[in-house]
């Protein structure tokens, strides 16, 4: 937007409330939008543009937002050092994130900085841990939204915001948890169905193999039976030939004796 290179140090270790003042057009809303979008907010949430790329300074093709969050004391986020750095680089076509860990080394001027993640989902977990709710009007309200909020202010409309900010709105989460559990059960059933299909396919293959093997076995058995029968037939033929020879010899001998008797 209007700042080419700006750095602001909020002394959160000694102060817990800050006011940003200035004349119209000095860039107060730009800082507000930078904090929001640097933590993963959408362009439409800040009412200065419908898309994130519209927040890039005129004449430039990229913008970089770097936010350092303290990570000391009770409730510190595990996996990070003394501070957490959230960097968002906005281009004309896309934007990327970097989550870094800062560790302040005692007795030295420099700090140890290392990249932990590039995932937007890890940034969402970080915001949930620090209870930073970009979509809750109690935590984040632009100028236009503030005017609309005051005009439409009703006690009943504040209840959802208060419950969400105090982490008391759990019923909806319970319903979502039930849906998630049901989806997990459905996925498990589908996995079982797929496994049963694979088992059935394997059993069909085994059955086809058994039928083929049985057919070959029957054919081999029939061939073997035919061979045995053929051998028996040959033996019977040999016996029959011998019997015929014996009968012929006996007949010839009997005829010769009849001739000699006559």
Question: Which tens digits make up the pLDDT trace of 211-260?
Answer: 666 566 555 555 556 566 556 666 666 666 666 666 666 666 655 555 55
DSSP 55: G
pLDDT score, position 101: 92
Separation between Cα atoms, residue 122 and residue 84, nearest integer Å: 12
pLDDT score, position 105: 75
DSSP 16: S
Is the separation of the CB atoms in 98 and 118 below 8 Å?
A: yes
Tell me what the mean pLDDT of segment 108-115 comes to: 76
Distances (CA, A) of 201 to 190, 196, 211: 16, 8, 15
pLDDT score, position 236: 62
Q: Which residues contact 127 (CB under 8 A, 6 or more apart)?
A: 39, 40, 133, 134
Cβ neighbours, 10 Å, residue 39: 21
Distances (CA, A) of 176 to 83, 170, 180: 33, 10, 6
pLDDT digits (tens, 9 = 90+) for 17-45: 888 888 887 777 788 888 888 898 887 77
Q: What angle do CA 241, 243, 249 make, to 5 degrees?
A: 105
Distances (CA, A) of 138 to 52, 102, 155, 157: 23, 29, 13, 12
pLDDT score, position 85: 93
**At residue 101, what are phi and psi to the nearest 5 degrees?**
-105, 130
Q: Say what the pTM is.
A: 0.55
Domains of the chain and CATH, by start: 1-134 (3.40.50.300)
């Amino acid at each position: 937007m209007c700042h080419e290179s700006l750095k602001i140090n909020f002394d959160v270790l000694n102060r817990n409330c800050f006011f940003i003042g200035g004349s119209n057009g000095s860039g107060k809303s730009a800082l507000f939008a930078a904090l929001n979008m640097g933590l993963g907010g959408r362009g439409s949430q800040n009412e200065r543009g419908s898309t994130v790329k519209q927040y890039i300074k005129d004449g430039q093709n990229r913008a970089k937002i770097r936010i350092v969050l303290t990570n000391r004391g009770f409730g510190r986020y595990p996996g990070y050092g003394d501070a957490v750095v959230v960097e968002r680089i906005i281009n004309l076509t896309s934007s990327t994130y970097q989550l870094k860990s800062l560790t302040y080394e005692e007795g030295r001027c420099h700090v140890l900085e290392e990249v932990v993640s590039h995932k937007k989902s890890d940034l969402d977990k970080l915001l949930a841990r620090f209870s930073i709710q970009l979509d809750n009007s109690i935590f984040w309200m632009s100028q236009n939204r503030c005017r609309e909020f005051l005009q439409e202010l009703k006690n009943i409309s504040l209840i959802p915001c208060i419950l969400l900010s105090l982490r008391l709105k759990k019923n909806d989460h319970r319903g979502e948890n039930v849906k998630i559990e049901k989806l997990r059960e459905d996925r498990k059933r589908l996995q079982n169905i797929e496994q049963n299909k694979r088992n059935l396919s394997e059993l069909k293959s085994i059955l086809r193999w058994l039928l083929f093997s049985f057919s070959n076995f029957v054919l081999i058995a029939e061939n073997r039976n035919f061979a045995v029968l053929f051998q028996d037939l040959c033996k019977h033929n040999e016996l029959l030939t011998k019997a015929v020879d014996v009968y012929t010899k006996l007949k010839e001998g009997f005829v010769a004796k009849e001739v000699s008797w006559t």
